Amino acid sequence: MVVIRFFCVILACSLLFVQTSIAESSTKTAEATTLSVGTSPETDTTQASSTETHSSSSEATTNSSSVSTEITTQTSKSNETTTELTATPTVPSTTVPSTTPAPPDFTWEVTNHDENKTVCLKVHLEMSFKNTNGSQDLFTLPTNASVDQSKSSCGPKNKSQVMVLTYDDKVVILTFDKDVTDKETPKFHLSYLTFVNGTVAHNLNGTSETMVAHVEKSYKCNDEETHPMSGDVSVTWKDVQIQAFMDEKDDGNFGAAEECSQDNTSDIVPIAVGCALAGLVVVVLIAYLVGRRRSRQKGYQSV
């Protein structure tokens, strides 16, 4: 009986101890929970701060990226602008036309000694002088030979006109006279030609048929002519156009040309050649027709 009571007491104590342990354990658990709950706002605040910091960092990164993108875009635009500004404009290629050098101008003029300086004598020609003994070239009149206006003369209205050309120690003098025998159609011609070679003068006495043309017109001759001069010298000229006794209305221009007989090619030769060709064509045509007719007749006979 006593043993049973002792056992019950021990059992009750054990139960009490167990309850006490459970109660203490519950209390500690509650405190731990309370501490956990108490520190949670700080943790939340820290987490929130961390989240905000991360968001701010993200926004900053985003803003930085946006700024970087804008800078890159601006840089790209700047580069494009620089490229547009520095781009070399395309220059269209131009082909320079080839220019043919102008032929030498063997033209000289004599002008009146008055204020108007009207051209009274105009000469265009190529002229050369040779020694007739050895055919040695003595002098060829160059394009840069000059007219000595002080010694040249337009002369009186119905008299002579003179052109004096000089080059180094060479002098060429051309004298033209007016023929007023026919007053309605007066003419001019070359009356004298003088070539001074240093101190030696050579002369050519012209005639009324040398370089002759009506007044107010010009004499023109492309053909080459050679004439003997004094002192075993000959003169050759070609491509000639001359007009003497010009006045203001001519305005320094050549009048209508009267060509020399050498340039007036006869029409007889071209006409003769044309007739011969026409006759040849007729003969060939007749021969063709006769041959064709005979071939047809042979064909009929064979049938």
In angstroms, the Cα distances linking 66 to 72, 77, 185 are 10, 16, 103
Burial class from Cβ neighbours inside 10 Å (0-12, 13-18, 19+) for residue 141 reads: buried
Confidence check: pLDDT of 72 > 60: no
The answer to whether residue 10 sits within a structural domain is no
The answer to whether residue 197 sits within a structural domain is yes
Confidence check: pLDDT of 117 > 90: no
Nearest to 188 by CA among 244, 254, 247: 244
The domain total for the chain is 1
pTM of the entire structure? 0.57
* Domain membership of residue 241 as a residue range: 108-248
pLDDT digits (tens, 9 = 90+) for 171-202: 999 999 999 888 888 999 999 999 999 989 99
Confidence check: pLDDT of 69 > 80: no
The DSSP string of 119-153 is EEEEEEEEEEEEETTTTEEEEE--TT-EE-TTT-B
The answer to whether residue 206 sits within a structural domain is yes
pLDDT digits (tens, 9 = 90+) for 125-180: 999 999 988 678 899 999 999 999 999 999 877 789 999 999 999 999 999 999 98
| pLDDT-derived band at 273, boundaries 50, 70, 90 | confident
The answer to whether residue 210 sits within a structural domain is yes
pLDDT digits (tens, 9 = 90+) for 20-37: 555 555 555 444 444 443
The answer to whether residue 231 sits within a structural domain is yes
pLDDT digits (tens, 9 = 90+) for 228-256: 999 999 999 999 999 999 998 999 999 99
Q: What is the pLDDT of residue 156?
A: 79
CATH (domain of 239): 2.40.160.110
The answer to whether residue 62 sits within a structural domain is no
In angstroms, the Cα distances linking 132 to 106, 200, 202, 204 are 25, 15, 12, 14
The answer to whether residue 215 sits within a structural domain is yes
The answer to whether residue 193 sits within a structural domain is yes
